[in-house]
Amino acid sequence: MKILAIETSCDETAIAVVEVKQEGKKAKFKILGNEVSSQIAIHIPYGGVFPAIAKREHIKNLPLILERVLKQAKIKIEKVDAIAVTTGPGLEPALWTGIVFVKEINKKYKIPVIPVNHMEGHLFSIFPKKSKTFTVDINKTMFPMLSLLVSGGHTELVLVKDGMKYKKIGQTRDDAAGEAFDKVARMLGLPYPGGPEVSKMAAIERADGNNISSRIPEILLPRPMIHSKDYDFSFSGLKTAVLYLVRDLKEKDPNVLENTNIKQKIACEFEDAVIETLVHKTIKAIKEYKIKTLIVGGGVSANTYLQEQMLQKIKKEKLKTKTYFPSKSLTGDNALMIAIAGYYQYKNKKQGSRLSSIKAKGNLSL
Ligand code: KG4
Ligand code: ZN
């Protein structure tokens, strides 16, 4: 079967077409077409995603990208068997553009529509690698599974049981990890999206051999909720601690942020604080739930320090958990992951959903 997937939950307009070459538990996919059009450049002046502009851009981009992706895939839309569309979580005005677009296609061509949860998409994003074909092999030996989903809007630990049954065991009580990276980047005068920028600075600091003991005590930051008994996170206090730190440093020297060295130290300490907390809680959950497979997904999963630390800690603790991260090009939002998640939804239900029930849900939960 051939699946068309549409993703418009935030600032990326993404469309993909995949062919399921072999169905069943060990499903084989072929990527026929795939495109992600980022609006980052348009949102930079606002220092973050501006929903009304995201909506306008999606509406403009969707028909153009669809035409290109179908051309890449060398198929006519009539040959598509089902359409997967992200219905949440995300920015509602942005989500609606994808949904309305898909409903119009359905009206014209009667192709069934599958609503997809964006976070479930991130979970499935670990399967495609460099090649055009890939296998999604989810078998009983992989459970219980745990997923750490870390993006600009979410930070959650999800327990996955056989049959892809989800139970959220922890989440952020305020800011998401990616959001904290973006806000701290702004405080340091770095461009949006801030995650990669802050991380680059932190890496330079670490490469200089500056570990925690060589840091100026006044820039040491808290590790919020690291020792709380639950699996929740909180990054808003950490963000405020950076705000106060920058304010105090500026009081002493108004030009302090022109000093790249200081910025690197703050970036490094901030990244350490976020990653330490994420890794600590994930390891704790792996032990408690005897997790066999860990899947890390979402924009922040691109963070190389997070990847390194997670693998190191799992090894150090002698845990046998197999750990998966998406390929670099699939850590951010894309439609390929929506196509895979859509296939599994469709397979379970054996049909699309009633169109009237397909709505944008900004806070949709797994
Ligand atoms: O999943 P995603 O592309 O969009 C959402 O659904 O939110 O995640 C975007 C987030 C942004 O906050 C961005 O700063 C963060 O992921 N991010 C990173 C890195 N690359 C992207 N955060 C830390 N380190 C990175 N290397
Ligand atoms: Zn995302």
pLDDT(213) > 60 = no
pLDDT(330) > 80 = yes
Residue 199 near ligand 1, beta carbon < 6 Å: yes
Q: What separation in Å is there between the alpha carbon of 298 and the centre of ligand 2?
A: 5
In contact, 325 and 309? CB cutoff 8 Å: no
Question: What local confidence, expressed as pLDDT, does residue 217 receive?
Answer: 73
Question: What local confidence, expressed as pLDDT, does residue 48 receive?
Answer: 76
Question: What local confidence, expressed as pLDDT, does residue 214 receive?
Answer: 63
In contact, 123 and 295? CB cutoff 8 Å: yes
Closest atom, ligand 1, to C-alpha of 298: 1
Average pLDDT, stretch 317-321?
A: 98
Domain covering 2-125+332-357 assigned CATH 3.30.420.40 in the classification: yes
In contact, 188 and 250? CB cutoff 8 Å: no
pLDDT(344) > 60 = yes
pLDDT(218) > 80 = no
Closest atom, ligand 1, to C-alpha of 306: 24
Length of the chain: 366
Supply φ then ψ for residue 254, to 5 degrees: -60, -25
Instruction: With CA atoms as reference, report the closest residue to 126 among 347, 302, 315, 343.
Output: 302
Average pLDDT, stretch 232-242?
A: 97
Closest atom, ligand 1, to C-alpha of 302: 26
- Burial status of residue 229 (CB atoms within 10 A of its CB: 0-12, 13-18, 19 or more): exposed
Instruction: With CA atoms as reference, report the closest residue to 232 among 284, 181, 193.
Output: 284
pLDDT(85) > 80 = yes
pLDDT(360) > 80 = yes
pLDDT digits (tens, 9 = 90+) for 249-263: 999 999 999 999 999
**Cα torsion for 332, 338, 339, 341, to the nearest 10°?**
120
Question: What local confidence, expressed as pLDDT, does residue 365 receive?
Answer: 92
Of the pLDDT bands very low, low, confident and very high (cuts 50, 70, 90), residue 209 is: confident
Share of the chain above pLDDT 70, in %: 98
- Residue position matching structure tokens 């499935």: 124
Q: Which ligand is nearest to the CA of 197?
A: 1
For residue 183, the surrounding DSSP H or E stretch is helix 177-187
Q: Which pair of tokens denotes residue 318?
A: 């002698």
2-125+332-357 and 142-326: identical CATH topology? yes
CA–CA gap between residue 307 and residue 126 (Å, rounded): 13
Q: Domains of the chain: which residue ranges?
A: 2-125+332-357, 142-326
Q: Which pair of tokens denotes residue 340?
A: 């895979």
Cβ-defined contacts of 161-169 (< 8 Å, 24+)? 164/120, 164/138, 164/344, 166/120, 166/366, 168/365, 168/366, 169/231, 169/285, 169/289
CA–CA gap between residue 194 and residue 341 (Å, rounded): 28
Average pLDDT, stretch 280-284?
A: 98
pLDDT digits (tens, 9 = 90+) for 148-172: 999 999 999 999 999 889 999 999 9
Average pLDDT, stretch 188-213?
A: 87
CA–CA gap between residue 105 and residue 199 (Å, rounded): 41
Q: Which ligand is nearest to the CA of 90?
A: 1
Q: What separation in Å is there between the alpha carbon of 299 and the centre of ligand 2?
A: 6
Q: The whole model's pTM is what?
A: 0.95
Cα 203–chain centre separation: 21
- Residue position matching structure tokens 């072929």: 30
Question: What local confidence, expressed as pLDDT, does residue 331 receive?
Answer: 97
pLDDT(212) > 80 = no
Ligand 1 mutation pick, 172, 181, 295, max ligand atoms within 8 A of CB: 181
Residue 325 near ligand 1, beta carbon < 6 Å: no
Cα distances (angstroms) measured from residue 96 to each of 99, 233, 303: 5, 30, 30
Q: Of residues 53 and 5, which shows the higher confidence score?
A: 5
> What kind of fold does domain 142-326 have according to CATH?
Nucleotidyltransferase; domain 5 (3.30.420)
